[in-house]
Amino acid sequence: MKNQSYKNHERHVPAFHFFLVPLSFAIVAAAFVYLFVTNMLGISLFMSSLLILMSFSMVMTLFFIRQFVCKVQDRVIRAEENLRHFVMTRRLLNPNLTIDQIIALRFASDDEFLMLCEKAVKENLSSKDIKLAIRNWRSDHHRV
């Protein structure tokens, strides 16, 4: 397995990011083209209006589902990292840590985790700054 690092830690799902999302927008565009054509031909706009509503509904559903799943993932990460911190210190994570900071901290090895938790709170580090400060990334099997 490839070692995880700042350069390769992001994950893209090709079928979602490069197929489903562009396809959804193409369907919305096609629905508007159909509306324009039916309007120009003097055909009833009911069907084309319905297609626009359905295509917008599909795109909104796609993005809401993605948003809901990411929110659940954030909660799982917060719980995992809270447990990790508790096992190491017998204390929960500092409540001043933001979810973005906690998500970034999950990539840190156990050797750096506690130090970076403290530094993130004291210096209000961004998630990017935390990731750049990590010297030893946790192995790839910890990725979600």
Mean pLDDT, rounded, for 66-72: 95
pLDDT for 144 equals: 45
pLDDT at 40 over 90: yes
Report residue 78: phi and psi, to 5°: -60, -45
pLDDT for 100 equals: 97
Alpha-carbon distance values, 32 to 16, 47, 86 (Å): 23, 11, 54
Residue in the structure block whose two tokens are 């096992």: 87
Residue in the structure block whose two tokens are 């919305």: 28
Written as six digits, the tokens of 107 are: 């990539």
pLDDT at 104 over 80: yes
pLDDT for 86 equals: 98
Distance CA 7, CA 25 (A): 29
Task: Look at 126 and 7; give whichever has higher pLDDT.
Answer: 126
Closest to 77 in 3D by CA, of 93, 59, 55, 66: 93
Position 2 confidence tier, pLDDT thresholds 50, 70, 90:
low
